[in-house]
Amino acid sequence: MVTVVAEPGDVGLATALAEAAEPTRDWLGLGRVDLTPMTLVVAADADAFGRWSGGRLPRWGAGMTLPARRLVVIRADGGDPFGTLRHELAHLALHTVVPGRVPLWFDEGYAVVAAQEHGRLAALQLNLAVAMGRVPTLRQLDADLRGASDDAAAAYALAGSAVGELQRRHPQNSLEPLLGRLRDGVGFDAAVLATTGLDLERFDEVWHRSVRRRYNLGVWAATGGAWVVLALLLGFAAAWRRHADVPRRAALDEGWTLPPDDDEMMTPDDGSMTTVTEPPETLDPPTIAR
């Protein structure tokens, strides 16, 4: 059963989200998971979201899951609520199956991959900081996921790439063996070592090399970064040209003599209106300063 909590103005959205929740479905590496009972809350805005989260999450957050309470909170004004719902349900599915704690980067990365958030992973290709090789460690990634919104955008995508790397490192190209060990109560570090042959420190190094290889300056330029640079250069060139033209335009305005104003409107006897304009007697030629 899905219990819905919402303000009167958000009941329609909450009902649609509840219908889309699919309490029982297959999840990546977990198999079929029953997510009921579940309480689905629609928070109207950042203030309402902050009250539900107790201020523990950043104000830019769009969703929250409290697995122990079977609670999912979605912000009505936080972007695509249905995309946020898929992400939060992935968290709930993971913690329904896995009893122990996992690192934040794995928790968020699994949700990114399981919810098929391809847009986040694609945006990573255009992140200049990543292209320049400034990739955080997995420990630093945990802090970035709860940092400023600009840092978090890349952090979520990086977390997804780290989980993808865990999947690729297994001979079967699957997360199921890792998640199976976690379901059986094996610690996270030991589960990673058993399924990839790498301890966490070594995996961190391997993942760093993979990110630098897949998201380098060449990829950044090929996937749109070059157009960003070109647009910036064109904008700078246009601004410089306007600045350079100021003295020349001012010089062109010097030496011009304006003709006198037109004569007053004349009214013939028949009452019609006629405008009479007489040319000036003389008009000095313009003097153009160079």
- Split into its structural domains, the chain has a count of 2
> Is residue 210 assigned to a domain?
yes
With residues binned 3-state (H G I as helix, E B as strand, rest as coil), the percentages for the chain, rounded to 5, are 55, 10, 35
> Is residue 66 assigned to a domain?
yes
> Is residue 149 assigned to a domain?
yes
Q: How many CB atoms lie within 10 A of CB 208?
A: 17
Co-location of 127 and 46 in the same domain? no
> Is residue 182 assigned to a domain?
yes
Among 49, 69, 97, identify where a domain stops. 97
Q: Which helix (H) or strand (E) holds 45?
A: none
Co-location of 122 and 202 in the same domain? yes
Co-location of 109 and 208 in the same domain? yes
- Please give the Cα distance from 233 to 100 (Å, whole number): 52
CA angle (181 as vertex; 179, 183 as ends), nearest 5: 70
CB 136 within 8 A of CB 208: no
**Token digits for 190?**
């030991």
Co-location of 193 and 169 in the same domain? yes
> Is residue 263 assigned to a domain?
no
Co-location of 207 and 125 in the same domain? yes
> Is residue 283 assigned to a domain?
no
φ and ψ at residue 89, rounded to 5 degrees:
-65, -30
Co-location of 147 and 87 in the same domain? no
Co-location of 125 and 202 in the same domain? yes
> Which residues, other chains included, contact 130 with Cβ-Cβ below 8 Å and sequence gap of 6+?
124, 154, 158, 211, 215
> Can you give the residue range of the structural domain that contains 51?
1-97
> Is residue 241 assigned to a domain?
no
CB 87 within 8 A of CB 58: no
Among 97, 128, 143, identify where a domain stops. 97
Co-location of 36 and 123 in the same domain? no
Tell me the pLDDT of the chain (290 aa) as tens digits: 899 999 999 999 999 999 999 888 999 999 999 999 999 999 999 999 999 999 888 889 999 999 999 999 999 998 899 999 999 999 999 999 999 999 999 999 999 999 998 776 666 655 656 666 678 899 999 999 988 877 788 889 899 999 999 999 999 999 999 999 999 999 999 999 999 999 999 999 999 988 888 775 554 455 544 434 434 445 554 555 565 555 655 565 565 555 555 544 444 445 444 444 444 444 444 443 44
